[in-house]
Structure 1
């Protein structure tokens, strides 16, 4: 077990990965919108970059397991590629306007709006959920739980976008296209960490752990 004082020092190799993941987070937030000629604000780029750096630092310090790095990379790929494809269908500024003035005021309508305006991102999010299920520590009815987790991810991302938009407006930050991408990424990373915590909690239950041991 590492001493508390060691928690404040990232190993040299981990430091390079922290910088690399920070740069990758910034790239994912800026590149899809800039390739389609939309505006981007540095504040959102920094926020996404710091979030990725924090997760990688937690992995380097062994606060989080290495699989969280893989999950973060999957989230970055899903958001980066997915939003780029979705922006190829509809301009980022138009999508930003639709999301800002969405008629879906209830919590159930928000995920449906996300499916409507971001189908490619949603499809890649489903791939992330499937990957998490494949890498999971315990087995449950696959199809049913994949759909439950996918719906939960959609809900977290949709609510996260509303929350980040409200926070940005209250703090005077610009609500621009890369802010929308940043809200997606941060919400997806939050869901991934929550999902990992739930997996560990289930694995710790005697009945579930025993069933997992039998399956192995």
Structure 2
């Protein structure tokens, strides 16, 4: 069976200037740190970054913002990254906010091929994401378009060479949805095993959603 295992440098060839890049992780939990470092080293810029948060200024996904590689940020909050807030206030970074549940559902919709979702117009307070107004059962609602990305980077505890993924506890967070909603999905994993060795009952992301795998150790089978 085809192995999807590649080097980090080979994997990030798909991340280009101006790419829509979606990432899993919340803070540092479940964040593909080595892939982020490799993207940073590649020098790409003008990215549209999509994820739950912006991490911390010099850790994980926050590094891309601190080094001004991101043009547009689609997220739920930026409070842990003062650099993101400053760039937004200075007009250097466009930020689109959604509540966490709505963002996750927009990404899920993109992953399963649904063009959009309907949300309560009064939920979540002020939202900058927009959305087309519509009345559903007499209630004011908004049609929010689904979100997809050209490249998605995720982190998992285990994978086989086909890309079936197992996550560790809360490191699962947004990663399964990112894997589904990205044209090219790259998984950074702690451990890789031959096909057939993973417990199928524990697999969360089927390999059909994963294009390439890199290991934290840099090793291979």
Q: TM-score w.r.t. structure 1 length?
A: 0.26
Q: Which structure shows the higher strand fraction?
A: 2
